[in-house]
Amino acid sequence: MCTNFRISATDGSVVVGRTMEFPTDMGTRIAVLPVGYKGTGTGVNAAAGKTWTATQGVVGMDAFGAPGALTDGMNDAGLYAALLYMPGFCEYTPAEGADPASLLSIVEVLAYLLGTCVSTDEVKQAMSGVTVWPYVFGPFGFAPPAHVIVHDPTGASLVIEWRSGEMVVFDNPIGVACNWPYFDWHLTNLRNYINLSVENPTPITIEGVELTLMGQGPGMLGLPGDSSSPARFVRAAAYTASLRPVATGAELEKSALHVLNNFDIPWGMIRSDADPLNDDHTLWSTISNLTARRYIVRTYENPIPHAIDLTKVDFSGPEPSQIETPTGGFPELQLHAT
């Protein structure tokens, strides 16, 4: 499960927030893919599929120790992309009959797009020559069902899905995405919540008795509070639409952090069965400042945000590199009486 949103500042800065929920951490590390990275997609029977040479440097969160298997990331041009889990509503294109040189598995899509594109328009063009097929990714034992979320520094957003074996691309004007079902269903579902308001309701009088509000915030009465994908989509749309404008990207990063706090799921809140190891919880969150090229990470083990300035990353190395995600507790403040 994941929540993804895009917000903007009055100076034009664009920031993306994202959570990653899963029962296990998937061995996630922070990966750096250099300019010149030579990617090769997986074809049938482990043959080579789509190949590319990266023209952009990339920083992101990988999976199972494979630096090219990204689930979230941005490049040095400010393009952002993410995979969001989508079981039951994802049917990739069969490899049979497709050009072998067009084949990619879903776990290779982000490295390809972020390595070769700088805008949503370029992403559309790049994906038109790709066949994402149901490759069984070893650590999962099946083809991970997902859709692809893309945002660029202009504020343009895309959602890419696979239905009945066909790729479908949506423009995403509200900039919010979650998991299942399909993206257009979520947009339709928002019509059930048009009564919500950031304004407090006015008192009413019944038979001479004035009824006033009980505290602040009842204009949002009915906002769904559970952790299901439809509920999180509605909440993310409500939170991002109601933000007070801020002037700069630096302020917007803080706005994104506070929105993300509302989607931070503690271990034990979602239980599939009696085994705690199967509990979905928020493994990590990222904030991507597409304008300033800042990629910010916090983890369940260390919720203090750690920022990476892509303008200072050396993307010239010949091979990908990885570092561990932040761990450890909270730093102590050293106090003394004066």
The domain that contains 164 carries what CATH number?
Answer: 3.60.60.10
Structural domain count of the chain: 1
Residue 126 lies in domain: 2-324
Tokens matching residue 206: 């019944």
pLDDT for position 330: 83
| Tens digit of each residue's pLDDT, the chain (338 residues) | 799 999 999 999 999 999 999 888 788 999 999 999 999 999 998 899 999 999 999 999 998 878 889 999 999 999 999 999 999 999 999 999 999 999 999 999 999 999 999 999 999 999 999 999 999 987 778 899 999 999 999 999 999 999 999 999 999 999 999 999 999 999 999 999 999 888 888 899 999 999 888 888 888 888 999 999 999 999 999 999 999 999 999 999 999 999 999 999 888 888 888 888 887 888 999 999 999 999 999 999 999 999 999 999 999 988 999 989 988 878 887 887 87
Instruction: Tell me the residue type at 106.
Output: I
| Cα 14 from Cα 284, distance rounded (Å) | 21
pLDDT for position 280: 83
Tokens matching residue 109: 């899509």
- Residue 329 located in a structural domain: no
Output the pTM of the full model: 0.93
- Residue 334 located in a structural domain: no
Q: Which residue has the tokens 């499960």?
A: 1
pLDDT for position 99: 94
| Cα 287 from Cα 16, distance rounded (Å) | 6
- Residue 332 located in a structural domain: no
- Residue 255 located in a structural domain: yes
| Cα 151 from Cα 142, distance rounded (Å) | 28
| Cα 133 from Cα 59, distance rounded (Å) | 25
- Residue 301 located in a structural domain: yes
- Residue 112 located in a structural domain: yes
**DSSP assignment letter at 1:** -
- Residue 335 located in a structural domain: no
Phi and psi at 20, nearest 5°, equal -125, 115
pLDDT for position 328: 85
- Residue 336 located in a structural domain: no
